Amino acid sequence: MPDRMRIAQIYPHARIEQADRISDAISIVLYECSRRLAARHEVSGWVREIGKWSGTRRLDGFTLHHLPVRLDRLLNGLMLLDRLSLTPRGRPARTWPTYYLPFAVGLARRLRREKVDIVHLHSLAGLAPLLRRLLPEVVLGLHIHDHALADFAPGWGRRCLRATDFALACSDYVAQRTRRRLGGGLPPVHVLHNGVDARFLGNRARPAASRRILFVGRLAPEKGVHLLLAAFARIAGEFPDATLDLVGPTDPSPPEFVDPWRSDPLLVPLASHLARPAGYAAELRRLAAPLGGRIRFLGPVDNLRLPALLADAGVLAMPSLWHEPFGIPVIEAMAAGLPVVASEAGAFPETVVPGETGMLVPRGDGEALAAALARLLADGGLRQRLGEAGHARVRERFTWDRQVERLETLYLEALTRRARRAGRAARGRPLPVPGG
């Protein structure tokens, strides 16, 4: 077994322009894992060209490669078929072999030349079967960052998982949903929670002194932002000094990823907003208008500026209507010492302990959301106690150092399993005939 592994982290959509200018969750995971693993191993990240970044550069101990995606842009135009409802339900264009096909072929050629030991594929499960065929000798792991693998056609999901040596899920919720949907006889799905960097733990808020409510995430219908605005309007008169800051881009998910089978009673009514994101953004502005400057739309904020906003807040609210796969903003807020009010859905019960680090409310229940926010706004001492307990919970369970230590162990276990299989296969081969 190698003491120093060659590890490739792959996510074409990653936006890592600078180490302290990252805002989307999967890019944060790739960056934080890569820079920590690079202290002991040879690590490379493989992403697409973006903005001024192309070619290869060094970043915090690892090498970041930006591969061209010219033909992929043309092929990915097939996603228009999803918008026109011309693709089979459960098999959107992003699951097709054509999605990032040239990127994957060029990537495999480079990885073979660099003799990598571990290929860590983030999120794009459809690339796993292709990479397995192109790189049969490497250990291939799939990092599942959402529940698409469980939500789409199960035959496709099983093919993707069978191509891997192991899989990682960002929460127990995602792992269980994947196992339940796809059945047995597949590679193991391990839980590897997301984490926080030390700067969030060192950035302490004073929630007892603040009645500022903070939301961090995409301003998208499934995130329940409209529900939060309505809840805030309901209690605003009771707390005239309370404010609400909305942090995040107007960046909708494709409707086929939110509720692909159109079966969730809380998401079905949002179909028109999911199809027309500009209309949802306008609706949020309309709901916020009566409260004027008490509600601010701050737009996307990267990981350099976010700690200061957390330090100035009193509560984080995450009222998602869909089942969140994880929700990094929750543990970032808890790390800073903020209490959290979140919907009782997805992975939030794994991070927020009701009555100890925050409050969980039924998914889609606007009255319960308003009541939980009102209770916290009325009691600064409660905000402080919950925030302190949340900080301790994150320090114990959700640091990146802890997660990467576990990740390294999983890599080694996968390499050991493959080496044993290779040894058994070698012993089972007939001996070569001299001169034959």
Section 234-252 average pLDDT: 95
Inside any domain, residue 436: no
Q: Are residues 29 and 83 in the same domain?
A: yes
What confidence tens digit (pLDDT) does each residue in 165-177 have?
999 999 999 999 9
Burial of residue 32 (number of CB atoms within 10 Å: 0-12, 13-18, 19+): buried
- For the four alpha carbons of 67, 73, 79 and 83, in that order, the dihedral sign comes to positive
Q: Please give the Cα distance from 198 to 217 (Å, whole number).
A: 21
| Domain boundaries, position 156 | 6-195+399-428
Section 182-207 average pLDDT: 93
Inside any domain, residue 434: no
- Residue 272's pLDDT is what? 85
Q: Are 357 and 339 in contact (CB under 8 A)?
A: yes
- Using CA atoms, how far residue 61 sits from 32, 42, 382, in Å, is 11, 9, 42
What confidence tens digit (pLDDT) does each residue in 1-60 have?
567 999 999 999 999 877 767 888 999 999 999 999 999 999 999 999 987 788 999 999
The CATH number of residue 353's host domain is: 3.40.50.2000
Q: Are residues 178 and 268 in the same domain?
A: no
C-alpha closest to that of 320 among 396, 222, 435: 222
Q: Per-residue pLDDT for 434 more than 60?
A: no
Q: What tokens does 158 get?
A: 């099983």
Angle at 339 between CA 333 and CA 340, to 5 degrees: 75
Inside any domain, residue 39: yes
Q: What tokens does 233 get?
A: 């309007």
Q: Per-residue pLDDT for 200 more than 70?
A: yes
Q: Taking the model in full, what pTM does it have? A: 0.94
- Residue 150's pLDDT is what? 92
How crowded is the C-beta side of 79, counted as CA atoms within 13 Å?
14
What confidence tens digit (pLDDT) does each residue in 341-374 have?
999 999 999 999 999 999 999 999 999 999 999 9
CA 422: distance to chain centroid? 34
Q: What share of the chain is helix, strand, coil (3-state, %, to 5)?
A: 45, 15, 35
What confidence tens digit (pLDDT) does each residue in 244-294 have?
999 999 887 888 889 888 889 999 999 888 878 788 999 999 999 999 999
Percent above pLDDT 70 for the chain: 96
Section 80-91 average pLDDT: 88
Section 421-429 average pLDDT: 69
Q: Are 244 and 228 in contact (CB under 8 A)?
A: yes
Q: Are residues 114 and 234 in the same domain?
A: no
Q: Are residues 150 and 205 in the same domain?
A: no
As a dihedral over the C-alpha atoms of residue 3, residue 37, residue 193, residue 260, rounded to 10 degrees, the angle is -100
Inside any domain, residue 1: no
Mean pLDDT estimate for the chain = 93
- Residue 427's pLDDT is what? 66
Q: Are residues 167 and 56 in the same domain?
A: yes
What confidence tens digit (pLDDT) does each residue in 114-163 have?
999 999 999 999 999 999 999 999 999 999 999 999 999 999 999 999 99
Domain count, the chain: 2
Q: Are residues 186 and 263 in the same domain?
A: no
Inside any domain, residue 322: yes
Q: Are residues 11 and 107 in the same domain?
A: yes
- Using CA atoms, how far residue 376 sits from 324, 353, 367, in Å, is 23, 15, 14
Starting at the edge strand found earlier in the chain, the sheet holding 42-48 runs 55-59, 62-67, 42-48, 6-10, 118-122, 139-144, 166-169, 189-191
Section 302-327 average pLDDT: 95
Q: Per-residue pLDDT for 426 more than 80?
A: no
- For the four alpha carbons of 232, 305, 328 and 250, in that order, the dihedral sign comes to positive
Q: Are residues 31 and 153 in the same domain?
A: yes
Section 287-314 average pLDDT: 94
Q: Are residues 54 and 153 in the same domain?
A: yes
Angle at 224 between CA 265 and CA 213, to 5 degrees: 150
| Residue 428: band (very low, low, confident or very high) from pLDDT cuts 50, 70, 90 | low
Q: Per-residue pLDDT for 303 more than 90?
A: no
Q: Please give the Cα distance from 139 to 187 (Å, whole number).
A: 12
Q: Are residues 116 and 257 in the same domain?
A: no
What confidence tens digit (pLDDT) does each residue in 394-417 have?
999 999 999 999 999 999 999 999
Q: Are residues 218 and 184 in the same domain?
A: no
- Cβ neighbours around 394 below 10 Å, total: 24
| Residue-wise burial string across 276-304, b where 16 or more C-beta atoms lie within 10 A, e elsewhere | ebeebbebbeebbeeeeebbeeeeebebe
Q: Please give the Cα distance from 262 to 266 (Å, whole number).
A: 10
- Residue 436's pLDDT is what? 35
Q: Per-residue pLDDT for 433 more than 60?
A: no
